[in-house]
Amino acid sequence: MSLVTLGEVLAAARREGRGVGAFNVIQVEHAEALVAAAEETGLPVVLQISENAVRYHGALAPIALATKAVAVASFATCVLHLDHAEDEELVDEAVALGFTSVMFDGSRLDDATNRETTRAVVGRCHDAGVSVEAELGEIGGKDGVHAPGVRTDPSDAAAFAAETGVDALAVAVGSSHAMTSRTATLDLELVARIRDLVSVPLVLHGSSGVPDDTLVSAVRAGMTKVNIATHLNAAFTRAVRDHLEANPSVVDTRRYLGAGRSAVQAEAARLLRLLAG
Ligand SMILES: [Zn+2]
């Protein structure tokens, strides 16, 4: 099946009160596991490649084109999404490579520049048929910035979405990136207030630190796209570690990476079902 846009997938989910899982691809095994999870559940999945992952590989194209090939060969509904891009050139490269969605993260820019730059990115992406997610204010946890007190103001969010024309908006409601314990609490009343005022689907970043029942409550309160990366990396690494401990003489990388891939598929499928309700 060909790739679909984020706007299309999220609009249907928001209408039906469902959440959509958005999971990060670092190795090609992640792409294979996540697409298999989408096939297994019959639910759409957002395959995200972050600017950090691009930095790790030294380039966007190899991992992006591999991920795209896995998705296109599948019957699952997949969105190919660039996650947390601060670099506009990287956004343009993603559009040229066939991504169907990008997140432009201008949260570190001053407010007026973020609005202006996001609007320009939206213009170029929409001309190419690509969805745009943006962020207003900074969600904690990236590059050591931990800001648990940061909250999005609902009317500010509504104005930002209207001014920029984005298709989805990441909001700060209590989660923080890269948490390895699932102990975050969310301001669900704030989620509902933002949901009532903002016309586009909302995105929860840093959901790895949010327990299952709170994720379900967040979707009920109005979250649509739920980003989970660290939690799935933990599942991958645990399976690889267990395999290596149980098989200390293994040399074939397929043995332990395959164990990691199976673990990610199982947990991603469980999360897709949980979020879809
Ligand atoms: Zn994020």
pTM recorded for the entire structure: 0.95
3-class SS of residue 244: helix
Query: Which H or E run includes 169?
Result: strand 168-170
Average pLDDT of the chain to the nearest whole number? 93
Helical ranges in the chain per DSSP H: 6-16, 28-41, 51-57, 61-72, 88-97, 111-127, 154-164, 188-197, 212-221, 230-246, 253-276
Residue ranges with CB less than 5 Å from ion ligand 1: 205
pLDDT score at 149? 66
Question: Where is pLDDT greater, at 98 or 180?
Answer: 98
Closest-CA residue to 276 (of 100, 40, 26): 40
Question: Given pLDDT bands bounded at 50, 70 and 90, which one contains residue 267?
Answer: very high
Gap from CA of 251 to ligand 1 centroid (Å): 35
Gap from CA of 84 to ligand 1 centroid (Å): 6
Residue 250 has pLDDT above 60, yes or no: yes
Question: Given pLDDT bands bounded at 50, 70 and 90, which one contains residue 146?
Answer: very low
pLDDT score at 148? 57
pLDDT score at 211? 94
Contact predicate 136/101, CB 8 Å: no
Question: Active-site residue 83, yes or no?
Answer: yes
Contact predicate 268/33, CB 8 Å: yes
pLDDT score at 145? 35
